[in-house]
Amino acid sequence: MKRRSFIKKSSVSGLALALAPSLMVAKDRELEYSVLELMGKEDIQLYGEGINLRKEAHDAFLAMKKAAYSDGIDLKIVSSYRSFDRQELIWERKYIKYTEDKGMDPLTAIEKIIEYSTIPGTSRHHWGTDIDIIDGYRKTNGDVLVPEKFEAGGPFEDFKKWMDGNANKFDFHIVYTKDPKRRGFKYEPWHYSYAPISVPMLTAYRRLNIVQLLREEEFYGSEHFTTGFIKNYLRNNILDINTALL
């Protein structure tokens, strides 16, 4: 009996293994991503020292970096993959700063944080497809991820021009565009996403019950998340992005 069930089991898994590669191709790509993976809670394989992206995104980034080099620009990653835990640290640090140091009420603090920072579990940086980049050749004081620094006269003016003309050729797209009608996160001229992976990941992400998943979390401020707030946040901050990435 035992042996029989073993044989049955192993032949089933053997069959699944044999079928797996072709099934993966036939299936929609978004089915490959787990809930934990989509929320930054899984140790995914990342490539490149100081790059930390999924293989395909890493390779595309290197090709883009090489092209930029020959035009005198050093594409330097400021931030790429970020785990749930890391995002939670960022979130809680800001929450404490706004509520305790600046005396804001919790909801005002949360609105302030989500101008630029994501709620843990909802960051595109969890996916290993998104990067914040600047021109490493240009020296500048203080924070580098400031929109003005990418405008005319700013240290990253040339970087911005180069990315406007070339990033799409390597399948990288800006996420939070300058469009004044766009809601959610403010304009981020430094944040790019590798579309061939991030588009199916976003599709997979949209199928999750984010309201429930976030309400199960316990980090500073999360007790103030209402269903309405989370739904608005998803509509504005997660989905009101560059349409090339939807």
Interacting residues with Zn ion (CB under 5 A): 132, 191
CB of 211 or CB of 236, closer to Zn ion: 236
CB of 79 or CB of 168, closer to Zn ion: 79
Q: Could you tell me the maximum CA-CA distance found in the chain, to the nearest angstrom?
A: 78
Q: Which H or E element spans position 197?
A: helix 195-206
- Amino acid letter, residue 110: I
Q: Are 80 and 130 in contact (CB under 8 A)?
A: yes
Residue number, nearest CB to Zn ion: 191
Nearest distance in Å: CB 132, Zn ion: 4
- Amino acid letter, residue 246: L
CB of 143 or CB of 218, closer to Zn ion: 143
- Amino acid letter, residue 204: A
Q: Are 118 and 177 in contact (CB under 8 A)?
A: no
Tokens of 179: 């469009």
CB of 54 or CB of 191, closer to Zn ion: 191
CB of 91 or CB of 99, closer to Zn ion: 91
CB contact set of 1 (below 8 Å; sequence gap of 6+): none
Nearest distance in Å: CB 114, Zn ion: 13
Nearest distance in Å: CB 121, Zn ion: 15
CB of 99 or CB of 120, closer to Zn ion: 120
Q: Are 145 and 131 in contact (CB under 8 A)?
A: no
Nearest distance in Å: CB 35, Zn ion: 22
Rounded Cα distance between 136 and 77, Å, is 8
Nearest distance in Å: CB 6, Zn ion: 49
Among 95, 61, 20, which residue's Cα sits nearest to residue 198? 61
State the sign of the Cα–Cα–Cα–Cα dihedral 145, 117, 231, 224: negative
Distances (CA, A) of 1 to 5, 10, 62, 77, 106: 6, 14, 55, 58, 61
Nearest distance in Å: CB 180, Zn ion: 20
Nearest distance in Å: CB 232, Zn ion: 21
CB of 94 or CB of 191, closer to Zn ion: 191
